[in-house]
Structure 1
Amino acid sequence: MTSASDAVERYRGAEYRRLLRAARRGLENNGGSLDATVSVEVQGEAERNAIIGITGRYRDPSVKRIRVTLRDLDAVVRAGTELSLAGLLEAIDGRPLANHPAEAARALATRREALRPAEESPLHESAEWFRTWLGAVSRNGTVGRLVARPETVGVLAQAVRVLEFLEDRPEGGVPVTLAGLAAEVTDDPKALNHRTTLSTLVLRALAIRAGVPLPGTAEERRALWDRYEVVVDDLASRILVLNLPAEGEGLGEWLTGAARFGTPFQVTLHQLNTFPLDLRVPVVHVCENPAVLRRAAAELGPGCPPLICTEGRPSTAFHRLAAIAVRDGARLRYHGDFDWPGVDMAGAVVRRHGAEPWRMTAADYLAGLAGDGKAGNGKPRNAEAGGGEVGGGEAGDDEERVRLSGRPVPTPWDPGLADAMSEHGSAVYEEAVADPLLADLRMQILGG
């Protein structure tokens, strides 16, 4: 008498192998239902006879593909082995049958649950950049990869909370450290460190919000965090100053000493956070490019009026120092590049600190364009900074000008400026119009 185990061993034969593989695929794909049919393209007489023995129907050798219902196969297996078809397959393969429909349903439910905090966030309703980011991470497989691993399934919700936290912070509030932000949202101060999944998600969203490429270097990452007053390194966040005497121990003494000699001085956010400072100057001029400050130091020396340089996009250190100056009664006058990022930065400083635009009118732009529109007298810009390519030719040739790129930005202090820039389509960089800026500083020395 043949035992059940002997019968199971019989089904391990090569003549049954492809039929049982097809049966496993069928059961796994339909959730274990026997109401399905599988087919096998017969290869060899032994396989043909085995399948005929299961179905009980003779098939002519000319029939190359034989179909078998899973219910018939289950009945034959039960009669010979006392096992169900599913039990036989698990015994032969040494692993349980998968249930792909149930797995897909669970994965879909997990995905929906992972996306729910983002879709229910107020940012989803109010912020186009947030919807763009969420659409991108949904389409490119990021969400699928997150929900596939238990340790990352909640990271998207954490990213949403970080973005909501940054959105809700008042402009000009106290800067937050990267570790402090991470601890506030996740209870893990290292959760936003470079290369963490959470950091990558949040930086991608902030880059979309700012309209810049995803940062690729440590400096670019610091700059992007700095836009939202998240301090990665309070030593790296700094501002260049010239002739800004101050009161206070430490930093105030250093600034006063540097001003006495007309020496440019780098101030870090760490210093501003460490040493209380008071400023007693009526006007502080602000420029974007260090070339302007360098000329002022060389040509005007200790007599130059107080001048600070953002060295590009204003950092948290700049905003801290500007707030101190305004608090102490100083009037800020801001000048920057005549390109879309430049006027965007100017507008932000005007809104945040009540600064006055300094030679940032349409007339100033057109004078700079007419005086020398050559790219060679400006600084080449990469794509992130919003510049164009530099060409060659004669002075004044349109091909030599750096073409404006990026999204136009309104200039509410002089709407004609944005109109003129759009019409001419060329950038004028600050160092190319430094002469009238230095003339203003000279006039202030003379009391004009």
Structure 2
Amino acid sequence: MAEQVAAVWRALPRPDGATRLAQLAATVRRDAHALDADQPLGRAVARLAAAVHGLDRPRRAGAAWRAAWAAIGVRCDGVSSRVLVLNLPLHGPAPAAELCAAVPGEPLWLTLRSLSGGLRVRPGPVYVCENVTVVETAADALGARCPAMVCTDGMPSGAALDLMTALATGGCELHYRADIDQAGFVITDQVLSVAPSATPWRFDAATYLITLGQDPGREPTESLREAYARYGEPVHEEAILDDLIADLRATPW
């Protein structure tokens, strides 16, 4: 591994130059994905770059990851990572702010690139879900009157995590949920890792048990994970879609 890291380091651009991460990987390793965030070599070089330049140690393909590579003249892909949003109250010079303002009431995919360049947010409620059906149904039912929404579309991308970080630090109140299954617990853990003050949105034992036709009062102190471990039956967001839309409709916006 040390020899591979050294080979990448020797191939870095001059201080006044720049290259793309995939281009560097293809040149040095003949594999455009050899330096991706999920590859040991990519993580090793990024952490070395961060240490050399006194930056935060990158732990995922997020802001710290991009900053580490940028410090050594390497640009990361900013368009493949994306997140679905609706009525997001963004301001500032980042292209995402102008895009959101241009299409109120319409679901919009934002790339990591569009979120770069400086963002400000208007504090308020933001509802986070896993599945695009929830956002599309909300847009159909409420349009521009729908509260702000963020959809991870499965596991949160770097764009989704960076956006939720910005929303949380900007004073927004995040309300999160996902499918109630093992993957959903991983998703919500990732949301909480960047927005620890976020609160569950019908992601609780009572919702789960009622949807299964069980009495939530039988085990009043049971957590959602405990209830799921007991029954083991997933509950997808689409199964409670009417309740979710009712929550959004009742939220002042």
Relative to the length of structure 2, the TM-score reads 0.69
How many angstroms does 1:178 deviate by? Answer: 8.2
Change (3 A) 1:244 1:369: same
Change (3 A) 1:415 1:233: farther
Change (3 A) 1:367 1:268: same
- For residue 174 of structure 2, give the secondary structure of its aligned residue in structure 1: strand
% identical equivalent positions = 35
How many angstroms does 1:244 deviate by? Answer: 1.1
- In structure 2, C-alpha distance between the alignment counterparts of 1:370 and 1:227, rounded to whole Å: 40
How many angstroms does 1:227 deviate by? Answer: 5.5
Matched, 1:427 2:229: no
Instruction: State the match for 1:254 in structure 2.
Output: 99
RMSD between aligned residues:
3.6
- In structure 2, C-alpha distance between the alignment counterparts of 1:195 and 1:241, rounded to whole Å: 28
Q: How many residues align?
A: 207
Change (3 A) 1:190 1:255: farther
- For residue 239 of structure 1, give the secondary structure of its aligned residue in structure 2: strand
Instruction: State the match for 1:25 in structure 2.
Output: none
- CA displacement 1:300-353 (0-9 Å, x = unmatched): 111001111111111111111112212221111111010111112102212321
- CA displacement 1:235-278 (0-9 Å, x = unmatched): 1101111111322244322212212xx111111001112x3221
| Structure 1 residue runs of 4 or more that deviate by more than 6 Å after TM superposition | none
- In structure 2, C-alpha distance between the alignment counterparts of 1:342 and 1:328, rounded to whole Å: 25
Instruction: State the match for 1:293 in structure 2.
Output: 135
Matched, 1:268 2:75: no
Letter in 2 for 1:253: E
Letter in 1 for 2:144: P
- CA displacement 1:46-91 (0-9 Å, x = unmatched): xxxxxxxxxxxxxxxxxxxxxxxxxxxxxxxxxxxxxxxxxxxxxx
Query: For structure 2, which runs of at least 5 residues remain unmatched after alignment?
Result: 7-18, 44-58, 67-75, 215-220
Change (3 A) 1:189 1:367: farther
Which of the numbers 194, 200, 215 marks the counterpart of 1:357?
200
Change (3 A) 1:310 1:190: farther
Matched, 1:440 2:214: no
Letter in 1 for 2:202: R
Which of the numbers 81, 84, 90 marks the counterpart of 1:240?
84
Larger Rg: 1
Matched, 1:347 2:178: no
Query: For structure 1, which runs of at least 5 residues remain unmatched after alignment?
Result: 1-113, 118-153, 160-176, 207-225, 372-413
Structure showing greater relative contact order (alpha-carbon pairs closer than 8 Å, 6 or more residues apart): 2
- In structure 2, C-alpha distance between the alignment counterparts of 1:254 and 1:431, rounded to whole Å: 28
- In structure 2, C-alpha distance between the alignment counterparts of 1:365 and 1:193, rounded to whole Å: 45
